[in-house]
Amino acid sequence: MPQYLRIAEKVYRQVKENKDFNQDPLENLNNLMIEIRKELKGSKLKLLYNFIDFEECMNKPNAECKIQLDISLIPTIKNEGEFILWLAGFIQRITTDGKKKLPPIRKEIPPEFKYTQPKEAKKIVPVQPEYSKSGELINSYFKSDEFMESYNKSH
């Protein structure tokens, strides 16, 4: 998340310096995407989508859009900290770090497959190793009267 926060802060500063924000949320999102593209150029992060139709996100239910974005939840640019946090989360959802991620295994399991947990196996108690002669000598010293006397005198 720190890398997304750094990018979000840079994009926020750039947009604020250029005064690219106005009352139209679609135009604001498009301006943000332009700045995000500039910032991601040359980094290991890549955009998942070449084009995001923000108008589609406004008109269709979230389930039908390729990216779930509720425009009503976008904070105002005046709330700098809140806006940067939102922007970092947005950047995280629309980018990938280029590493291939393994798909979830459950997609490959047929629906008719039933999983049953195995019966509880007998617990195997590990065998305790026998102490060596030197270990026994050390233990006997700490239990000896000589050690106990010297310990009690020092404390």
**What is the per-residue pLDDT across 40-72, written as a single tens digit (0 to 9) for each?**
888 888 887 777 777 766 666 655 666 777 677
Contact 98, 52 (CB under 8 A): no
For residues 19-29, average pLDDT: 75
Confirm whether 55 is domain-assigned. Answer: yes
Give the pLDDT confidence of 71-125 residue by residue, as tens digits: 777 788 788 889 889 888 888 888 887 666 666 666 667 777 776 776 766 677 6
Q: What is the pLDDT of residue 126?
A: 67
Q: What is the pLDDT of residue 131?
A: 59
Confirm whether 136 is domain-assigned. Answer: no
Using the predicted structure, report yes or no on whether residue 130 has a pLDDT greater than 70. no
In total, how many domains does the chain have? 1
Confirm whether 101 is domain-assigned. Answer: no
Confirm whether 152 is domain-assigned. Answer: no
CA proximity to 82, closest of 90, 70, 72, 74: 74
Using the predicted structure, report yes or no on whether residue 11 has a pLDDT greater than 80. yes
Confirm whether 43 is domain-assigned. Answer: yes
Tally Cβ neighbours within 10 Å of residue 107: 6
For residues 29-35, average pLDDT: 83
Burial status of residue 7 (CB atoms within 10 A of its CB: 0-12, 13-18, 19 or more)? buried
Structure token pair of residue 139: 């233990």
pLDDT band at 142 (very low <50, low <70, confident <90, very high): confident
For residues 18-43, average pLDDT: 80
- Domain range enclosing 24: 2-96
Confirm whether 117 is domain-assigned. Answer: no
Confirm whether 129 is domain-assigned. Answer: no
Confirm whether 25 is domain-assigned. Answer: yes
Contact 54, 71 (CB under 8 A): yes
